[in-house]
Structure 1
Amino acid sequence: MRGRLWLRGGAAVVARHPAAFLRAVLKGFRANQGLLLAGAVAYYALLSLIPLLILVLIALSHVIDEARLLATLREYLEFVVPGQSGALVEELRAFLAHRDALGGLLLATMLFFSALAFTVLENAMSVIFFHRVAVRRRHFLVSATMPYLFILFLAVGLLVVTVVAGRLQVLAGRHISVFGEFLTLDALSATLLYLMGVLGEILMLTAIYLVMPVGRLSLRHALIGGVAAGLLWELTRHVLVWYYATLSQIQTVYGSLTTAIATLLSVEIAAVVLLLGAQVISEYERIGHEPIDAKPGAMQLDQGRRHPRPPRRVKPRAVQAH
């Protein structure tokens, strides 16, 4: 194929040449300084996590019992910060016990910090989807309001998950008769709760990929990135749980900072996975337009925007008369 593989068949081409596509994703991620972007996203996500959860819990505690909310949150925070959800929930419980001290200035400050992670994530997405930013830019008001719409979306999602989890817990206490033997539904309930968490994780990632990049992204492409990032994070999350439980000496090294360091490490890895999913979509969008070995980093900055490098012009040689 003359050293180049031209992508034309979408998913069929990726299925035929998965290694080449994976190399293109990793090259693009490196060219876009993916680890640096993930570090920025992780820092602001950690800064935004507690204020965001406090706001969501204060709002939902008027609808659902606070203890049920905290129990559900502890269960599903394991999908984000494995091994550290208990410590985070205890911090939230302590704050909610003094919610009467929440004033207008503190509320405004928490609103501001809770939106920072989404703003930084949008900027990171604009670097990965540079071909979209070069064509059009998002209006300032849209970028300003989008984080708060995501916060509302998260609150509604937590509400739905809490209600469904309560129903499944009721189901777990029941028995069924199979060939004269009574069996509990504990295992079925636990499996359904886990699958619901994974499904919610993939849907959340798909929503981020659908909305964060500039321009209109197809649902199919967003779902491809959501499934890829979701499955990769599930594998990584189980490795982290095993590492913290067996090999980690983080408590010995960091002492009282253990929770903060472990949470930051988990969020950093989650940010890398999130941006890798975005890079998968970005490379998939290039199918049929560029060869798979085209350098995604062959771009230059021009007044703060990324543009493709124009083709080099060759001056014609002067024809000498003989």
Structure 2
Amino acid sequence: MGRYILKRVGYMFLTLLIITTITFFLMHSIPGDPLAHMAKNLPEQVKQNYYKKYGLDEPVFVQYGKFLKNIVTEGNLGESLRYPGRSVTDTVLENSKVSGRIGFQAVSIGIVIGITLGVIAALFRNKWPDYLVMFIAILGITVPTFIIAALFQYLLTVKFEILPTTGWGSFKHTILPTIALAFTPIATYARYMRSNVLEVSNQDYILTAQAKGVSQFNIVIKHILRNAILPAITILGPQIAGIFTGSFVIEKIFGIPGLGSYYITSINDRDYTMIIGTTIFYAAIFVVAQLLTDILYGIVDPRIRVSNKDQ
């Protein structure tokens, strides 16, 4: 298992290097000058000083080499072109805490409620609980997140005035964004778990346990749930990354100062360093989440640990 984890960590860093390289050269291949709009009214000598400060007067491969060196040796993603003096690394770390808090709450709620609803739907197949869960799942998958957010915003802030409409500061400000973001994970896990539980329930060892008089509760907890949850773990990594990358609109709707708002602003402002930095951060979240998913797979299913030792 240790060798497998080391191999996966190596692949993780290789993936990040490839993504960093592609993003860097794509950004520098876009026509135009990122400082043209900011420095258009400045004297020529001042413009040249700006280009020299950000290294834009050097060949792109030299800029790339210095960029990688700063990341590896200092963990420095550079300085924002739009906001001179503001470190990209500090901005990403500071604002990702806000996005991360909402994302963690949404994923946690989505996993717990989604798995519970999926098991209930499978145990009451073709009955009203099953139909209700599938109806919720269809809504969560087909209805866009911003529609759900706007609906809850109207009901709970305008109609009944229970929660704040926008802003950030207290736990109440996180409730509506969390609910809006959690709908998709709830729907996804409910569908996956329903299908997996139905498949596992027809296995011979489940029928044997039922014939031996094992209680339904023990069968579900000890046999069905542990085996049915394995395929659902596969989507955990993409779900975590999707919560971060899919929170842009939600943060905009609720006025949340998360990383998504900075990412959108950096694209509009052509802030190369901020775009590259946030892209690397999102990529890192995805590959780390995939790594943790693989490790969790080995913890839940001992057969995977044994197969990895044989490799």
Q: TM-score, normalised by structure 2?
A: 0.31
Higher RCO (CA-CA < 8 Å; seq separation 6+): 1
Q: Which has the higher strand share?
A: 1
Q: Which has the higher helix share?
A: 2
Q: TM-score, normalised by structure 1?
A: 0.30
